[in-house]
Amino acid sequence: MSVKPGWEGRFFEDFTVGDEYRHPLGRTLTQQDNIWFTLLTQNTAAVHFDARYAAQTDFGRPLVNSCLTVALVTGQSVIDVSYNVFANLGWDEVRLPHPVFEGDTVYSRSIVLDKRESKSRPTLGVVSVATEGFNQDAVVVCSFKRTLMVYKRGMAPDRAPPVPRSTS
């Protein structure tokens, strides 16, 4: 029997400017997700967790915490963009053009904008992507540009789990 490696993510050499990655996982946001994230981050805006209050706003119902939306869309991109990240350098031009509501499903995609060798760390490269999150109706709910440092092939820390010892 041969052992097949799992997805190892993209390394710096695998990025090409202009490539689009359609991230494979969508996520339906629940009331519990919204309340937990809102409380965890100590966001006291009632529009996120008080249904009676939210019903009186123009939205008519609770809004998903916008920081949760940004975090989710970032997380969805990890499998394709930053699985081999050394460090995130920044998020720029964060936009939230459409509200996200409890029960919405969010999907995302990223486009590679730029890549270059790191000037200070020869084992790394710097990659910039534009990422969009969109709902089940294909309406964009979040967008941002993100810059990160990514390991070059063969330079990342060993991720392989230990091999179990035989019990016989």
Compute the average pLDDT of residues 27-46: 93
Residue 3 lies in a domain: no
Is the residue at 165 inside a domain? no
- Domain-embedded: residue 125: yes
Paired sense of beta strands 105-117 and 85-95, if any: unpaired
Q: Do 146 and 91 contact (CB within 8 A), yes or no?
A: yes
Residue at 89 is within a domain: yes
Please count the structural domains in the chain: 1
Mean pLDDT of the chain: 94
Mean pLDDT of 109-127: 96
Six token digits for residue 46: 């009632």
CATH number of the CATH domain containing 102 = 3.10.129.10
**Domain extent at residue 87:** 12-151
Average pLDDT over residues 98-106: 97
Going through the chain in order, the beta strands assigned E by DSSP cover 20-22, 27-28, 85-95, 105-117, 124-134, 140-151
| pLDDT at residue number 153 | 95
pLDDT band at 98 (very low <50, low <70, confident <90, very high): very high
Confidence of residue 29 (pLDDT cuts 50, 70, 90): very high
Residue 161 covered by a domain: no
Residues 44-66: pLDDT tens digits?
Answer: 899 998 999 999 999 999 999 99
Q: Is the model's pLDDT at 168 over the cut of 70? A: no
> CA-CA distance, 113 to 132, in Å (whole number)?
13
pTM for the full predicted model: 0.90
Taking alpha carbons only, the member of 11, 15, 1 closest to residue 115 is 15
Per the domain annotation, does 67 fall within a domain? yes
Give residue 111's pLDDT band: very low, low, confident or very high (50, 70, 90). Answer: very high
Each residue of 6-21: pLDDT tens digit? 778 999 999 999 999 9
Q: Does some domain include residue 117? A: yes
Residue 160 in any domain: the answer is no
pLDDT in tens, 58-96: 999 999 999 999 999 999 999 999 999 999 999 999 999
Whether 159 shows a pLDDT value over 90: the answer reads no
Nearest-angstrom CA–CA distance, 33 and 38: 8
- Residue 141 pLDDT more than 70? yes
One-letter amino acid at 105 equals T
